[in-house]
Amino acid sequence: MEKMAQKANFSGLPKHRIQPIQLLTITETWCGDAAPALPFINQLAFHLDWPEPRVIWRDEHPELIDTYNTHGSWSIPKVLFINTSNEVIDSWGPRPKELQDYVVKTRSKPGFDEGALQEYIQRWYNKDKGVSTIKEVTAVARQLPVAIN
């Protein structure tokens, strides 16, 4: 796990200064974007000594995904950062911004090929190796409120 933490560059996060956060991921078993992201989400919580991340199923919690949707879409995974007062203070997802922008642009074109898009997404994740997810979730963690000792 330490190797992953170094790769993820979580080692620079000041774990004693960030308040404990519960990570709650809204997803489904068929979600192709969850597999490349969740190991790094879990590693972030592990590195910062936060509670073990939880996962809930999107289709069983429509009110939650309605509240934390992505531009009106039920896109998943969606990771909620919940503070000790049980308030959602930030979120991330459904995929790294660079890839999300590409997906939105491609799907806006008439007659786009969903199969080709899914292949592109998989190749993108294979090439990226989690680097973009790591950068983005680390950026969220860095801006979280500091712990009060």
| CATH code assigned at 7 | 3.40.30.10
Residue 54 in any domain: the answer is yes
Residue 138 domain-assigned? yes
Domain count for the chain, please give it.
1
Which helix (H) or strand (E) is 65 found in, with range? helix 62-67
Non-local (6+) Cβ contacts of 108 within 8 A are: none
Domain that holds residue 106: 2-142
pLDDT along the chain (149 residues), means of 10: 53 70 95 93 89 95 94 93 93 96 96 96 95 92 73
Give the relative orientation of helices 114-128 and 97-107 as an angle to the nearest 10 degrees.
Answer: 170
Per-residue pLDDT, 20: 83
Which tokens belong to 127? 């090439």
> What pLDDT score was predicted for residue 119?
97
The answer to whether residue 148 is domain-embedded is no
pLDDT of 6 reads: 47
> What are the phi and psi torsion angles at 78 (to 5°)?
-125, 120
Residue 149 domain flag: no
pLDDT for 142 equals 85
The answer to whether residue 147 is domain-embedded is: no
Q: What is the pLDDT of residue 19?
A: 78
d(CA 127, CA 12): 24
Residue 102 in any domain: the answer is: yes
